[in-house]
Amino acid sequence: MQTLSPRLAAVVDALPLSPGLRVLEFGCGPGAATREVARRVGPAGFVLGVDRSAKAIEQALAQEQSSPGTLAFRRSTIEAFELEPGEQPYDLAFAIRVGALDGRHPDLEQQALARIAAALTPTGQLFIDGGNPLRELDLTR
């Protein structure tokens, strides 16, 4: 099992996680934080790790040790992400060091935020880096 870096541990600790939540991680890389979040939301929850890199998703899948049905990985860019047919919306999303949300690309950021909002429940929350260690983005704009 991969240990979390102190930075990722602080991020996961800062998320308002509870058993049974459905969580999205954008920019999951090899999935270390994704797996820890899945452990914390437990067997009644579900976590989807999303990354634009085929290599990152391949690495995440190679390290998969959780029970089926609680954790999955998908290759997609954040600005093109869509729920699959029949896929339930998510309660919470988080993204760490994701270029589409770092403020340098406003048009791309608006597309990404719209896609994230569409994938979340009406009360869903989005957390990104840039706080101490996280900040919540308002998706109602």
CA–CA distance, 35 with 28 (Å, rounded to integer)? 10
Q: Is the pLDDT of residue 1 over 60?
A: no
Would residue 65 count as lying in a domain? yes
- pLDDT score, position 132: 86
Round to the nearest angstrom and report the end-to-end CA distance of the chain.
Answer: 40
How many CB atoms neighbour CB 127 within 10 A? 20
Condensed to tens digits (0 to 9), the pLDDT of residues 54-73 reads: 999 999 998 866 556 799 99
CA dist 98 → 3, 7, 39, 77, 95 (Å): 21, 15, 23, 10, 6
Condensed to tens digits (0 to 9), the pLDDT of residues 92-111 reads: 999 998 989 988 999 999 99
CA–CA distance, 91 with 34 (Å, rounded to integer)? 15
CA dist 1 → 23, 33, 66, 112 (Å): 20, 12, 10, 31
Condensed to tens digits (0 to 9), the pLDDT of residues 72-94 reads: 999 999 999 999 999 999 999 99
Would residue 1 count as lying in a domain? no
Total of domains in the chain:
1
Q: DSSP 3-state helix, strand, coil percentages of the chain (rounded to 5)?
A: 35, 25, 40
Would residue 100 count as lying in a domain? yes
Range of the domain at 105: 6-137
Give me the CATH number covering residue 19. 3.40.50.150
